[in-house]
């Protein structure tokens, strides 16, 4: 690990020096490339430099333990315990920072929310979840743009898709894919009985045209008039667009914009993201076939969370995490909750890395 950290620090110093060179500053593409790399390396280097500083302090305090003055020895011993704990914490942090980076972490995302079992109540909860994620995105400084929405007559959504853009958007949302269950008393329930409904969430890294190239002859494009809840026409022109990707059978419908061209552009954005997601899922399936377990796969058939309104409780079933602050979380205050989940999956990935390297070592012997 220390050899890798030394290499990272040398690379960081090289990148930092290059950023000050006029030929790099004057070439926008090269400059942006180095800025991105610098931002990726800086967290590792800062933690590593603190790690080295702490090790030096520990060595110094161990020397002071030999001092004949009992007061100095007592102070050195007390500080040594604190420094050793800090060193242990830094070592764990560095191991996590050195984990292979998810290539999609810095991408924008397509967030898709669909009402599942539960009828109107599921559609209303789909709207609640979209509001929660939108508020969270605003807190993080991400941009939110609705791409596709199919409203339900009760005021919720049968389906809603949005583009969330900003540095690290995918890494912020990537563990949210799955089935979200809600338990609450619907407003129409006269007996006060609790109903259980479900909503599915999909988080797809946004794909650009280079990653996912679509030939025009692979698409069937249909245009028609936009419709609202109940089927009533909401537009006098054929602006709604339905795109079918013939090789896979994937269908995307977009009718939110009055312009046919804008609807087509949005539908293509969603289609590319779904095709990239399909590609990633296929790769994950191949990896899973050769491994006993698959960490944080984002399987959307998995029930990941329950929102219990009578008890004001949210439980994430994957890691057994329960908190009793449903209202504030539905207002978008979910950062701590998401951080705990991310830390769990990073720890699992780290265990997998250690086991893999151990097996590789045994095979080499």
Residues 339 and 327 sit within 8 Å (Cβ to Cβ)? no
The strands making up 250-254's β-sheet, listed across from edge to edge, are 219-224, 240-245, 250-254
Least confident segment among 47-61, 108-122, 341-355: 341-355
Task: Enumerate the H helices of the chain as residue ranges.
Answer: 2-19, 22-25, 28-64, 70-97, 120-140, 169-173, 260-290, 326-330, 335-364
Q: What percent of the chain has pLDDT over 70?
A: 84
Domain limits, CATH 1.20.58, in the chain? 2-97
pLDDT of residue 137: 96
| Residue 73: both structure tokens together | 């020895």
Confidence of residue 296 (pLDDT cuts 50, 70, 90): very low
Residues 6 or more apart from 304 whose CB is under 8 A from it? 176, 177, 178, 179, 180, 316, 317, 318
* Over residues 167-188, mean pLDDT: 89
The strands making up 321-323's β-sheet, listed across from edge to edge, are 143-151, 157-165, 109-115, 195-205, 178-184, 303-308, 313-316, 321-323
pTM: 0.64
The CA distance from 96 to 364, in Å, is: 25
* Over residues 35-43, mean pLDDT: 84
CA 81, chain centre distance (Å): 36
Is the pLDDT score of 44 beyond 50?
yes
| Assigned CATH for 2-97 | 1.20.58
Is the pLDDT score of 300 beyond 90?
no
Tens-digit pLDDT profile for residues 315-362: 999 999 999 999 999 999 999 999 899 888 877 776 665 555 444 444
Tell me the pLDDT of the chain averaged across its residues: 82
Is the pLDDT score of 131 beyond 90?
yes
Token pair 């439980």 is at which residue?
A: 315
10 Å Cβ neighbour count for 63?
10
Pairing of strands 109-115, 195-205: antiparallel
Tens-digit pLDDT profile for residues 178-206: 999 999 988 766 677 888 999 999 898 88
Domain limits, CATH 3.30.70.1660, in the chain? 109-349
Confidence of residue 301 (pLDDT cuts 50, 70, 90): low
| Assigned CATH for 109-349 | 3.30.70.1660
Least confident segment among 61-65, 108-112, 201-205, 232-236: 232-236
């Amino acid at each position: 690990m220390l050899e890798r950290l030394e290499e990272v620090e040398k690379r960081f110093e090289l990148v930092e020096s290059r950023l000050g060179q006029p030929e790099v500053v004057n070439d926008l593409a090269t400059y942006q490339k180095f800025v991105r790399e610098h931002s990726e390396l800086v967290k590792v280097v800062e933690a590593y430099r603190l790690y080295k500083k702490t090790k030096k302090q520990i060595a110094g305090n161990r020397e002071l333990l030999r001092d004949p003055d009992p007061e100095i020895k007592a102070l050195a011993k007390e500080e040594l315990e604190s420094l050793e704990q800090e060193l242990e914490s830094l070592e764990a942090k560095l191991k996590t920072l050195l984990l292979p980076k998810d290539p999609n972490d810095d991408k924008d995302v397509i967030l898709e929310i669909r009402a599942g079992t539960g009828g109107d109540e599921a559609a209303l909860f789909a709207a609640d979840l979209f509001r929660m994620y939108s508020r969270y995105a605003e807190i993080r400084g991400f941009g939110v743009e609705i791409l596709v929405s199919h409203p339900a007559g009760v005021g919720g959504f049968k389906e809603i898709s949005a583009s969330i853009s900003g540095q690290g958007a995918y890494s912020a949302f990537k563990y949210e894919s799955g089935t979200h269950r809600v338990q609450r008393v619907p407003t129409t329930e006269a007996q006060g009985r609790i109903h259980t409904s479900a909503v599915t969430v999909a988080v797809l890294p946004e794909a650009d045209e280079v990653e996912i190239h679509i030939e025009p002859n692979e698409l069937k494009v249909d245009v028609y008039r936009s419709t609202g809840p109940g089927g009533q026409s909401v537009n006098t022109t054929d602006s709604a667009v339905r795109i079918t990707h013939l090789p896979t059978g994937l269908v995307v419908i977009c009718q939110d914009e009055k312009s046919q061209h804008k609807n087509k552009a949005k539908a293509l954005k969603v289609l590319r993201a779904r095709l990239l997601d399909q590609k990633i899922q296929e790769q994950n399936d191949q990896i899973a076939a050769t491994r006993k377990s698959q960490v944080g796969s984002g399987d959307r058939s998995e029930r990941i969370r329950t929102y219990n309104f009578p008890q004001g409780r949210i439980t994430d079933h994957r890691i057994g995490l329960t908190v009793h602050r449903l209202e504030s979380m539905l207002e978008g205050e979910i950062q701590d909750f998401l951080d705990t989940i991310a830390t769990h999956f990073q720890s699992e990935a780290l265990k997998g890395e250690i086991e893999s390297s151990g097996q590789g070592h045994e095979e080499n012997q």
